[in-house]
């Protein structure tokens, strides 16, 4: 049986062409997924020339083919400034920030500006709902991926510590690593992810009181090497409990998105989460109405199963805008696909385009807030 450990052992001799070091030992082979007779993985490289890709493609596929695996999907990503610096690559002038910290394009490295420092340039977005079951985590995951697809550097904290679900939704099978005493988040679809789900085995329940929840959230914010980020999304538990209060206290600069369904009662309950944001001076970016309608796959006719207008009324009540109306449905993803995930929509689907439009609006709103 092919395992992740076997794949890494087989690829250990593969060297990064510019550095002549093992990609496995550098931990530059990521997101190894094995589904039946297919293997997918991500390769981090110092540059992304066609020649380099061709060389690595040939060597990696040749070594994995020795086990009879022919369906191999390889993604490539250029190393970040912090990864390049750690590997001993000399940074260019535009990659070096004040005091020598890493700087890639924009956004100063974590070691020079703490993540929670308002000067870090990170836009924090808490995604909240009044009640469970409205698809808040699905919305959060797809908004994070949509932002990453538009070139943003995105982090995602699964702050729903009792009801963590982001790793499963995004098809994450790896666990965070620890390097030099710092937790490294797991990257998936270009999004860096941290969740309580990485530290709980066999889906055991988390039985904690409020203060312990706050300490875990602070650890996710302070003890994780997020690198340079443009956005950090927080998937909050439903309601207005301890974790939501902790976010409001730890991140007074955080913005907020409220998720509801069209049903009048769901929107009424969601208004409490929105009112909490307003009372603590958090800017509301808007409302996402999930399960807005069901669209017939054969005729295209829309059926408003849960009623109509709840999201628009909620947005009006909170003096914000309706960011998106997401149809009821599930991604048409299959276990055999290299980028399988139960809840992330493929980029070319209708629902993914709705999330892309919402992400573009979020980027524009946050840019205005920084100017």
> Based on the domain organization, do 202 and 350 belong to the same domain?
yes
Task: Judge whether 107 lies within some domain.
Answer: no
Contact 214, 242 (CB under 8 A): yes
> Based on the domain organization, do 152 and 59 belong to the same domain?
no
CATH code, 41:
3.30.300.130
DSSP string across 23-43: TTTTT-EEEEEEETTEEEEEE
> Based on the domain organization, do 79 and 122 belong to the same domain?
no
> Based on the domain organization, do 19 and 136 belong to the same domain?
no
> Based on the domain organization, do 19 and 153 belong to the same domain?
no
> Which residue in 253, 263, 231, 250 sits closest to 358, CA to CA?
231
The DSSP secondary-structure symbol of 108 reads B
CA separation for the pair 135, 259 (Å, rounded): 8
> Which residue in 321, 253, 328, 317 sits closest to 295, CA to CA?
328
pLDDT block averages, 10 residues each, the chain of length 371:
83 86 86 76 81 87 83 79 67 40 34 61 88 89 93 88 83 80 86 83 50 69 85 83 66 86 86 78 89 87 90 90 93 72 90 95 82 45
> Which residue in 127, 130, 126, 125 sits closest to 310, CA to CA?
130
Domain span holding position 267 = 118-370
Residue 371 confidence (pLDDT): 45
> Based on the domain organization, do 143 and 81 belong to the same domain?
no
Residue 213 confidence (pLDDT): 58
CA separation for the pair 227, 82 (Å, rounded): 7
The DSSP secondary-structure symbol of 96 reads B
Last residue of a domain, one of 39, 63, 86: 86
> Based on the domain organization, do 66 and 129 belong to the same domain?
no
Task: Judge whether 149 lies within some domain.
Answer: yes
> Based on the domain organization, do 48 and 150 belong to the same domain?
no
CA separation for the pair 40, 43 (Å, rounded): 10
CA separation for the pair 102, 83 (Å, rounded): 10
Three-state secondary structure call for residue 215: helix
Residue 41 confidence (pLDDT): 82
> Based on the domain organization, do 132 and 77 belong to the same domain?
no
Contact 244, 128 (CB under 8 A): yes
Helices 242-250 and 210-222, axial angle in degrees (round to 10): 40
Last residue of a domain, one of 63, 86, 109: 86
Task: Judge whether 365 lies within some domain.
Answer: yes
Average pLDDT, the chain: 80
360 dihedral zone (left: phi>0; alpha: psi -120 to 50; beta): alpha
> Based on the domain organization, do 217 and 347 belong to the same domain?
yes
CA separation for the pair 74, 42 (Å, rounded): 6
> Which residue in 214, 261, 218, 258 sits closest to 239, CA to CA?
258
Task: Judge whether 111 lies within some domain.
Answer: no
Residue 109 confidence (pLDDT): 34
Structure token pair of residue 364: 């524009």
Q: How many domains does the chain have?
A: 2
Residue 165 confidence (pLDDT): 86
Task: Judge whether 100 lies within some domain.
Answer: no
Task: Judge whether 104 lies within some domain.
Answer: no
Residues 216-226, buried b or exposed e (16+ Cβ, 10 A)? bbeebbeebbb
Last residue of a domain, one of 40, 67, 86: 86
Residue 231: enclosing H or E segment and its boundaries? Answer: strand 231-235
Residue 336 confidence (pLDDT): 60
Per-residue model confidence as pLDDT tens digits over 56-75: 988 999 888 887 777 888 87
The residues, ordered by sequence, that sit 6+ positions from 24 with a Cβ below 8 Å of its Cβ are 8, 11, 12, 14
Task: Judge whether 112 lies within some domain.
Answer: no
Task: Judge whether 35 lies within some domain.
Answer: yes
> Based on the domain organization, do 126 and 209 belong to the same domain?
yes
> Based on the domain organization, do 180 and 77 belong to the same domain?
no
Residue located via tokens 């059926």? 303
CATH code, 187:
3.40.50.300
């Amino acid at each position: 049986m092919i395992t992740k450990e076997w794949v890494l052992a087989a690829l250990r001799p593969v060297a990064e062409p510019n550095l002549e070091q093992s990609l496995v030992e550098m931990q530059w082979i990521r997101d190894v997924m094995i589904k039946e007779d297919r293997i997918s993985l991500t390769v981090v490289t110092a540059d992304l020339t066609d020649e380099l890709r061709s060389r690595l493609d040939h060597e990696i596929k040749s070594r994995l083919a020795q086990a009879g695996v022919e369906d191999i999907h390889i993604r490539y990503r250029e190393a970040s400034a912090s990864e390049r610096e750690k590997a001993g690559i000399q940074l260019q002038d535009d990659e070096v920030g004040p005091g020598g910290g890493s700087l890639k394009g924009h956004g100063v490295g974590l070691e020079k500006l703490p993540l929670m420092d308002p000067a870090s340039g990170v836009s924090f977005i808490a995604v909240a709902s009044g009640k469970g079951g409205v698809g808040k985590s699905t919305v959060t995951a797809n908004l994070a991926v949509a932002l990453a697809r538009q070139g943003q550097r995105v982090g995602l904290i699964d702050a729903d510590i009792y009801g963590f679900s982001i790793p499963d939704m995004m098809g994450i099978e790896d666990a965070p690593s620890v390097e030099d005493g710092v937790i490294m988040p797991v990257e998936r679809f270009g999004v860096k992810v941290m969740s309580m789900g990485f530290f709980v085995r066999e889906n055991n329940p988390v039985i904690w009181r409020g203060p312990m929840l706050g300490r875990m959230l602070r650890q996710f914010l302070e003890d994780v090497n997020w690198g340079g980020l443009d956005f950090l999304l927080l998937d909050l538990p439903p309601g207005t409990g301890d974790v939501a209060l902790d976010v409001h206290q730890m991140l007074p600069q955080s913005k907020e998105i409220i998720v509801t369904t069209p049903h009048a009662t769901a929107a009424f309950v969601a208004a409490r989460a929105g009112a909490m944001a307003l009372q603590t001076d958090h800017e509301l970016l808007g409302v996402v109405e999930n399960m807005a309608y069901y669209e017939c796959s054969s005729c295209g006719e829309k059926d408003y199963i849960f009623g109509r207008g709840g999201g628009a009324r909620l947005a009006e009540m909170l003096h914000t805008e309706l960011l998106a109306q997401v149809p009821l449905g599930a991604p048409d993803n299959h276990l055999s696909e290299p980028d399988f995930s139960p809840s992330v929509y493929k980029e070319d689907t209708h629902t993914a385009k709705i999330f892309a439009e919402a992400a573009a609006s979020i980027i524009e709103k946050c840019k205005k807030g920084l100017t």
